[in-house]
């Protein structure tokens, strides 16, 4: 066991997807006992078993074997089912245990779940993620955590196994609120870049000429660079985040704005870029491919030029 692991914590993990598999791998590698929920896609499960993790057949079974359970799934509807559903976490969690929700979720749902679990003396913490599956595998994700000071201190060593940057943003719910704000900025950029690239091509300026001005200038950023790798290089894996998930997150942002009575016109505009692509059958494509779609709608070809 590594020196970083607190031997008293037994970790549970639900959601061995693109992000979750790397996170779970790092928790085990750094010395924590881990029980995970198996899934149809056997490759991540077999990999985790080979690393010494234990497979469970229901969330209740994961809960019964764990003091801290991480959930890393698509969004609030899935999280609610995992906690409240038949064979759910709620049936197996012991008083004093913690559920850590790493999904990008609806904060209204988060607060309802937190209240419900608090009645059973179970804490609910939100720790949504930023960055990509590559960083999940390397253990260098960003996370913004909503938790009490005491809980944050307890969880920090475990979070450090898979995150390079851990920001304690506030109490329960603040992690999910901040994540929606973070994604408003990033997905807003994506909508802007896609439209700008289409307009550039329309007036005769190629993506590479466009890029020669933006890259290394004041408007450059890490998100721009991963976004552009599809259009410039045809790298479909540069940013593995689906248009369907982008639409979900912008819909949660809209609900959050509505819950406080705020008009959110730019958020709605960005949401509709993804809604249009989704309606056109592109939901399973990744966010950088929005540029190709916006181009095609406007009669220009932004599909990546073949590598020389």
> If pLDDT is split at 50, 70 and 90, which confidence band does 5 have?
low
pLDDT at 206: 97
Reference 187, options 297, 302, 126, 274; nearest CA is: 274
Q: What is the pLDDT of residues 146-164, one digit of tens each?
A: 999 999 999 999 999 999 9
Instruction: Write out the residue limits of the CATH 1.10.1040.10 domain(s) in the chain.
Output: 177-297
Token readout for 173 is 């719910």
DSSP conformation class of 112: H
Helix spans in the chain (H): 20-29, 42-50, 59-64, 76-84, 107-118, 133-138, 149-162, 174-202, 207-214, 222-233, 243-259, 265-277, 290-297
Burial class (CB in 10 A: 0-12, 13-18, 19+), 52: exposed
Reference 277, options 210, 220, 189, 194; nearest CA is: 194
Is the confidence at residue 306, as pLDDT, over 80? Answer: no
pLDDT at 233: 97
Is the confidence at residue 285, as pLDDT, over 80? Answer: yes
pLDDT at 6: 53
How crowded is residue 131: how many other Cβ atoms within 10 Å of its Cβ? 18
Q: What is the pLDDT of residues 111-145, one digit of tens each?
A: 999 999 999 999 999 999 998 889 999 999 999 99
Instruction: Write out the residue limits of the CATH 3.40.50.720 domain(s) in the chain.
Output: 11-172
Is the confidence at residue 1, as pLDDT, over 90? Answer: no
Mean of pLDDT values over 271-289: 98
> If pLDDT is split at 50, 70 and 90, which confidence band does 4 have?
very low
Query: Looking at domain 11-172, which of 3.40.50.720, 3.50.50.60, 3.20.20.80, 2.40.10.10 is its CATH number?
Result: 3.40.50.720
Catalytic (active-site) positions: 179
Specify whether the CB–CB gap between 247 and 268 falls below 8 A: no
Is the confidence at residue 292, as pLDDT, over 60? Answer: yes
Q: What is the pLDDT of residues 247-260, one digit of tens each?
A: 999 999 999 999 99
Q: What is the pLDDT of residues 191-238, one digit of tens each?
A: 999 999 999 999 999 999 999 999 999 999 999 999 999 999 999 998
pLDDT at 212: 98
What fold, for 177-297?
1.10.1040
Q: What is the pLDDT of residues 45-93, one digit of tens each?
A: 999 999 999 999 999 999 999 999 999 999 999 999 999 999 999 999 9
């Amino acid at each position: 066991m590594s020196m970083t692991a607190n031997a008293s914590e037994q970790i549970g993990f639900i959601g061995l997807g693109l992000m979750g598999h790397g996170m779970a791998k790092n928790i085990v590698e750094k010395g924590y006992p881990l029980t995970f929920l198996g899934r149809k896609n056997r490759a991540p499960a077999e990999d985790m078993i080979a690393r010494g993790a234990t497979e469970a057949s229901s969330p209740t079974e994961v809960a019964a074997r764990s003091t801290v359970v991480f959930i890393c799934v698509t969004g609030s509807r899935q999280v609610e089912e995992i906690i409240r559903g038949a064979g759910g976490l709620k049936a197996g969690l012991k008083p004093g245990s913690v559920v850590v929700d790493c999904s990008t979720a609806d904060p209204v749902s988060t607060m309802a779940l937190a209240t419900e679990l608090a009645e059973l003396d179970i804490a609910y913490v939100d720790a949504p993620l930023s960055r990509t599956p590559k960083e999940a595998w390397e253990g260098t994700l960003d996370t913004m955590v909503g938790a009490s000071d005491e809980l944050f201190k307890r969880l920090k060593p475990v979070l450090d196994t898979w995150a390079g940057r851990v920001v304690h943003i506030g109490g329960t719910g603040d992690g999910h609120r901040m994540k929606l704000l973070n994604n408003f900025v990033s997905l807003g950029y994506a909508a802007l870049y896609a439209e700008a690239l289409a307009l550039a091509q329309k007036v005769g300026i190629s993506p590479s000429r466009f890029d020669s001005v933006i890259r290394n200038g004041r408007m450059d950023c890490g998100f721009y660079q991963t976004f552009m790798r599809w259009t410039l290089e045809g790298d479909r894996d540069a940013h593995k985040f689906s248009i369907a998930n982008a639409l979900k997150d912008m819909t949660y942002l809209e609900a959050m704005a509505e819950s406080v009575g705020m008009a959110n016109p730019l958020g709605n505009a960005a949401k509709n870029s993804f809604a249009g692509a989704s309606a056109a059958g592109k939901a399973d494509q990744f966010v950088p491919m929005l540029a190709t779609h916006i181009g095609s709608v406007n009669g220009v070809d932004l599909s990546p030029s073949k590598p020389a």
